[in-house]
Amino acid sequence: MIHGNIFGDRTTAIAIVVGILGIGLISAYTTKPTLKSAMKQEKAINLLVWKLLKDRKSGFPSADERTQRITGKAAICALLIGNYFTLAIMLMLIFGRELYDLQNVDAGYLLISTLLVSSLSFMVLSWVFSRKGD
């Protein structure tokens, strides 16, 4: 039997609940909800709770000062990279259409590329910053 708050604090618990609801809403509106998708969501929730319990029992803080600094620095850099990439795409589309008669690109591909650049840059930067010493 588990005693106490397994989620650490209220913010983490709220974030988990919002994430679960978001996953459920997205899967309900994009695909036909099935037992298989519900089982995948349950597995993801169980994995998250297991990781939180394991971290709590091990006694190691999940977010110490160094980790927060690394994550913050990587997030700021990834945000700037994503913003500059989006600005470059917008300028390319504007000048390409007005000056060079280029065709418009589908917005879905542009959104996917922007999300990939932001996400991958965050993952790479947090890996690089965590490998570097203080």
Same domain, 52 and 69: no
- The total number of residues shown for the chain amounts to 134
Query: Which residue's entry shows tokens 């590329």?
Result: 113
Same domain, 44 and 78: no
Side-chain-side CA neighbours of residue 79 (13 Å): 6
- pLDDT tens readout for residues 11-26: 666 666 666 666 666 6
Of 130, 129, 122, 128, the residue nearest 80 (C-alpha) = 122
| Angle between the N-to-C axes of helices 35-58 and 10-30, in degrees from 0 to 180, rounded to the nearest 10 | 160
pLDDT at site 18: 67
Same domain, 72 and 105: yes
- pLDDT tens readout for residues 31-45: 565 656 666 666 776
Query: Which residue's entry shows tokens 């890996």?
Result: 127
pLDDT at site 2: 42
Q: Which of 22, 39, 58 represents a domain boundary (last residue)?
A: 58
Distance of CA 14 to the CA centre of its chain: 16
Of 42, 64, 65, 46, the residue nearest 54 (C-alpha) = 46
| Confidence check: pLDDT of 7 > 70 | no
Q: Which domain holds residue 98?
A: 65-131
- pLDDT tens readout for residues 63-72: 677 778 888 8
Contacts of 18 (CB under 8 A, 6+ apart): none
Domain-located, residue 4: no
